[in-house]
């Protein structure tokens, strides 16, 4: 079984929230409060990507949330108009 790096960007299988965790085998969603294990019966149970540093995980979460929301070209502000 692959050993995961310390910081993980995960997608809650119940509510769809994307967040960062340092859990080694499972995590509790900060939105719905449900606990999910990373693996179940030797198969991956949640979508995740692991990182060495928290900053890398934060940046990945931001991009993942943007792509999930359909905002691939970044934030729009009044200055861009």
38 and 48 in contact (C-beta within 8 Å)? yes
Q: DSSP secondary-structure letter at 78?
A: G
CB contact at 8 A, 66 and 74? yes
Question: Does residue 1 lie within any of the structural domains?
Answer: no
The domain tally of the chain equals 1
Residue 1 pLDDT class (50, 70, 90 cuts): low
Structure tokens at 48: 């995740």
Q: Is the pLDDT of residue 81 over 50?
A: no
55 in a structural domain = yes
Residue 73 lies in a domain: no
Virtual torsion, Cα 20, 24, 25, 29, nearest 10 deg: -20
Q: Tell me: the pLDDT tens digits for 20-52? A: 999 999 999 999 999 999 888 888 888 889 999
pTM for the full predicted model: 0.75
Mean pLDDT over residues 14-21, rounded? 93
């Amino acid at each position: 079984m692959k050993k995961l790096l310390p910081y993980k960007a995960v997608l809650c299988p119940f509510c769809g929230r994307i967040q960062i965790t340092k859990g080694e085998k499972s995590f509790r969603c900060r939105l719905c409060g449900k606990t999910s294990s990373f693996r179940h019966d030797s198969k991956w149970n949640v979508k995740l990507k692991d990182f060495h540093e928290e900053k890398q995980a934060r940046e990945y979460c931001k991009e993942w949330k943007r792509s999930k929301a359909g905002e691939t070209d970044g934030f729009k502000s009044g200055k861009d108009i």
